[in-house]
Chain A
Amino acid sequence: MPSLKDLKNRIASVKATQKITKAMKMVAAAKLRRAQEAAEAARPYAERMNKVLAGLSAANAGNAEAPLLLSGTGKDQVHLLIVATGERGLAGGFNSSIIRLARDHALKLLSQGKTVKILTVGRKGNDVLRRSFKENIVHYITFREVKQLGFVQADEVAHKVLEMFNAGEFDVATLFFARFQSVISQIATAQQIIPAKFETTETANASSALYEYEPGEQEILEDLLPKNIAVQIFRALLENNASFYGAQMSAMDNATRNAGEMINKLTLSYNRQRQAQITKELIEIISGAEAL
């Protein structure tokens, strides 16, 4: 049985923890709103880019001279996994769900005899994956110093990826990130970015036929595909960012609630013990007086 003083100390420490988690929740909520706005602001660009490329790639489908980024290298041997995670923890299952998906994917590829290379974006993913896939990690990018996530950062990642692709270092690239569904639900997602895949719709096919292209269809496609990689990565980073704050917010909300329950329980046993002690002291006084 802990003494009264111990209980008092524990209550004080849980209260301090609760204050911290509450503050973190508020900060996460404010940052989440900003991250969501950023993700929404980036949507028109990505959508249009996708529409244009879907039309162009449909027109180029059977073309043997189509850029490698679209048609692939024709091989399926070396896989690059781009794993985007958060820079920090304390966000519930956010980081671990992305990492788990990436790890399962990597193990499956390895068991099929493929070569796996991993590029990690974000410190958390790098820390964990380093333990089991030390030899597979080829590059590590962190945005720890970056306050506001911008297109520049996505471009940096895309640059690295394209550099590796042009050097023939991999055949297929897959991007791992958490898709932002809502504040309480973020879905770890794997998206193949090289060779590019588009959701081709009927309308895209029809409209592309009417276009005039300057300088030429081929040139535009060659110009746009690398840009598209950067745009896809940018979108993934923004979604990831929003997901991170969403996950952190709900995790901190839970922590605050748990701390509240803990405080109630501790206060109850503190009061019980206090009363028990008073009763004990009274009995001692009374029985002392009766003995006289």
Chain B
Amino acid sequence: MADAFNFELVSPERLLVSEKVTEVVIPATLGEMTVLANHAPTMTTIKPGVVSVKLASGQVSKYVVFGGFADILPTGCTLLAESAVPASELTRETLQRRIETTQAEINKAQSDEHKTKLEQFLAELTHLNGAVIPA
């Protein structure tokens, strides 16, 4: 039995999860990473993707997050997401709307740097669109 640690998923509007978990998979900017207990202190930004949480009871729950960052300590892990929803509640329409707003922002963006960032964000969203929701 793997050690349990505290995991918190926080969005600006509310605290979504605060539980004992054994394993969390985070979509970090540099690639997916799995966090177990006693992880070295790390701070990383995250990209839009799926967070998969394995509770101490063995149950796995999934959340879709849209950017943010994670603060990992040996004793716990806090994920500050810009926006997060349980994967089961995500619908194709809401995702589509997000994609459209991002697209609109790209068209408005002035600096190239900002544009590249947004385009990357869009690519991740589109990827998510295909990956998460069954057609």
Contacts and interface: CB of A to CB of B under 8 A. Distances in A.
B71 A48 contact: yes
Interface string B27-56: 011100000000011111100000000000
Contacts of B82: 151, 227
B13 A213 contact: no
A224 B13 contact: no
Given A48-B80, A214-B29, A214-B30, A231 B12 contact: yes
A45 B42 contact: no
Interface of B: 8, 10-15, 28-30, 40-45, 68-69, 71, 78, 80, 82-83, 111
B14 A52 contact: no
26 contacts: A42-B13, A44-B8, A44-B10, A45-B10, A48-B71, A48-B78, A48-B80, A49-B80, A52-B69, A52-B80, A150-B13, A151-B82, A154-B12, A211-B42, A212-B42, A212-B43, A214-B28, A214-B30, A214-B44, A215-B44, A215-B45, A220-B43, A223-B45, A227-B68, A227-B82, A231-B12
Interface residues of chain B: helix, strand, loop or mixed (majority): strand
Nearest to A148: B13
Interface residues of A, number: 28
Interface string A222-233: 011001001100
Given A214-B30, A223-B69, A42 B14 contact: yes
Given A213-B42, A215-B44, 5 more contacts: A41-B13, A45-B80, A52-B80, A215-B29, A230-B12
